[in-house]
Amino acid sequence: MAHEHDHDHDYDLETMYTQETWDARYAESERIWSGRPNQRLVDEGAHLSPGRALDVGCGEGADAVWLAGRGWRVTALDVSEVALARVREHAAEAGVDDRVETLRHDLVAGGAAPGRYDLVSVFFFQPPPLLFDDFYRGLAHLVDPGGSLLVVGHHPDDVATGVRQSHGPQLMFTPDQVVGLLDPEAWEVVTEASPKREQALPEGPAIVRDTVVRAVRK
């Protein structure tokens, strides 16, 4: 992968997707994320019939635990073993550890994930631009007929509003960048939206915009 470092932005594609980086980040504190499921998952997932789910870049597992609590059998995938240990701990606390398995896999250096699923969810994973198409096409490939691909990311509007200066503007993506990868013969796009929400950022509460795509394989 090309080394891209933009001095206006605090990110480095060489290191930002490695186990070392994320294990160190998670090890800095007992909990990074809120422990609550992402609102977009609750909105989009509440009416889906449970089956097999893959949560990609699952972090500490709040989404995986929420899905398991609704009857899904969840594979929680992340590059960080420190994060996955937390997933197992939180799943056990919630009494759903029999429905959550963890999978340490590097989706950038290690290629496609294994398995077939009724839901592949990807929350706030901003792949390297050069891999963007292969990354989301590869994940779409894992969805069985009738199943959903649910992608939620940071919308590029947040760069213009100054909310996410340090995240790397070229890593943010719009819904049509994901929808454009899906063959319309094979997919029905159910949600293609860019809604706003309030988020507590280190600098204080801010209004941010999400990219939200849910598509069902025909």
Ligand X SMILES: C[S@@+](CC[C@H](N)C(=O)[O-])C[C@H]1O[C@@H](n2cnc3c(N)ncnc32)[C@H](O)[C@@H]1O
Residues that bind ligand X in the complex, under the rule CB under 6 A? 17, 22, 33, 38, 57-59, 78-80, 83, 106-108, 123-125
- 144 sits in which H/E element: strand 143-154
CA atoms of 197 and 177, how far apart (whole Å) = 21
Min CB(118)–ligand X separation in Å:
19
**CA atoms of 196 and 212, how far apart (whole Å):** 10
Query: Nearer to ligand X by C-beta: 118 or 210?
Result: 210
Total count of residues recorded for the chain: 218
The residue among 111 and 146 lying less far from ligand X, judged by its C-beta, is: 111
Of 81 and 146, CB closest to ligand X: 81
The minimum distance between CB 62 and ligand X, in angstroms, equals 7
DSSP letters of 13-41?
A: TTTTTSHHHHHHHHHTSS-SS-SSPPHHH
Calpha distance 91→112 (Å, rounded): 25
Question: What whole-number distance in Å separates Cα of residue 117 and Cα of residue 135?
Answer: 16
Q: How far is the CB of 162 from ligand X (least distance, A)?
A: 19
- Report the nearest approach of ligand X to the CB of residue 22 (Å): 4
Smallest gap, in angstroms, from Cβ of residue 181 to ligand X? 19
Q: How far is the CB of 23 from ligand X (least distance, A)?
A: 8
The CA distance from 113 to 128, in Å, is 17
In this complex, which beta carbon is closest to ligand X, that of residue 77 or of residue 182?
Answer: 77
Of 22 and 66, CB closest to ligand X: 22
Closest CB to ligand X among residues 60, 118: 60
**What is the C-alpha separation between 54 and 114, in angstroms, rounded?**
10
Closest CA to 200 of 17, 36, 9: 36
- Report the C-alpha gap between 129 and 170 in whole angstroms: 7
